[in-house]
Structures are given as structure tokens and as C-alpha cells.
Homo-oligomer: A and B are copies of this chain.
Amino acid sequence: MKCGTEKSEDRIREAAKRVFLKKGFDGTTSRDIAKEADMNIALTNYYFRSKEKLFLEIFKDVLEEYFQSMLTILNKDIDIKTKISEIVDNDFEMMKREPDLVIFIMNEMHKAPQRLFPDMSVFRQVRETYLKKQIEEGVANGTVRPMLLENILPLIKCGVEFIFMGKEIHKELFMMNEEEFAKYAEEQKEHIKAMVCNYLILA
């Protein structure tokens, strides 16, 4: 009844995630997924009804993965400066671990935002984070520049994510090989921390 079932379903899901992340929805064929999972082509539709349905499931997971670890940090009871540093570090590690994730999310949402459902509770969680309260208190007592969470968060995240999303361009543009880029990215990470803190914290 359900012995190897979850295994097969999960194998397809994991294979599909790998392929979708690398090639995008349009660049991925059902046969690519079946081959990556080393399973029969018909099983994709047996378990997930269609390529589109499978993609939507995976996209939801990927979007949660993108926000989840950041959320934990945003809610930690540490000072803002440390928090910014941890967010940047976390972003950095994520981009190294999953280099396709952010460009994948942005590209798919850019091409077809309407199909990727708005019932994401993660979005609400990000809006109602403890960092928001910290910022509001900081602004009130004059230690933080008067800004909203939605202005601050992208400033923290854009630096690291931008250079990794555009990794190939930056490598080409500034004539770096793989290890030179790695060193460069580390430098850039520290600049971002310092720059954002400089701007945000009115000490």
C-alpha cells in the first residue's frame, strides 16, 4: 500500500528541485526530472499530476527556505548591529550553499508573479518580526535613523545577494577566477556590514 511510496515521491521532489533550480521552469523537461531521479517518466504525473503542480509545490518550499533562516535571526534578542551582521553572514552562507536559489526565485516571480499564490504566511512573519519593534524603539530614542523595516531590510540583503546573483558578470567584468571571487565576496560582505551599520546606527 505505501511502502516505497514516500521514497519515490520524495526522490522525484528532490530531483525536481535540483533541476528546476538549475534550469528554471521553462528550461526543465519532465524527462530531465525523471532522469535526475532515475525513475520512469510517468511517475512525475502519477505523484504530482503535472509538471506545473510539481513546480508550484517546490517553489513554495524554496520560498520558505529563503526566508526561514533569516526569520530566526530577525526575532533573536540581540542588538541591531549584531543582528545586521548575522543577517549578512547568513545570507552569505546561503548564497554559497545554494547559489541558484535567489536568482531562481526572482526570475520565476518576475516572469509569472500571478501563479505563485499569495497565501504565504512567511511574508506576514517577516513583516511582524521583532526587528521591526527594535527599529521603532531605536527611532523613538534617537539611536536609529528614522526608517521602516521595509526600507532597511533590502539595504541589508541587496549587497551580498546582488554580487552572487551576478557572480558570472562580476567574474567576467573584473577578471576574477573562482577563488578570487570567493575572496572578493568576503571583502564585500564586510563592507556591507560596515556601510549599513554606519548609516543606520546614529550613535
Residues of chain A whose beta carbon lies under 8 Å from any beta carbon of chain B:
22-24, 26-27, 100, 103, 105-107, 109-111, 113, 118, 120, 123, 126-127, 147, 150-151, 154-155, 157-159, 161-163, 165-170, 172-175, 184, 187-188, 191-192, 194-196, 198-199
Contact = CB atoms under 8 A, between A and B. Distances in A.
A27 B27 CA distance: 7
Nearest to A100: B110
Nearest to A123: B173
As for how many copies of this chain the complex holds, the number is 2
A138 B118 CA distance: 48
Nearest to A107: B107
Given A123-B172, A150-B174, A154-B166, 13 more contacts: A26-B26, A103-B106, A105-B169, A106-B165, A110-B168, A118-B172, A120-B172, A147-B191, A151-B191, A155-B192, A165-B165, A191-B199, A194-B199
Contact of A106 (B111, B158, B169): B169
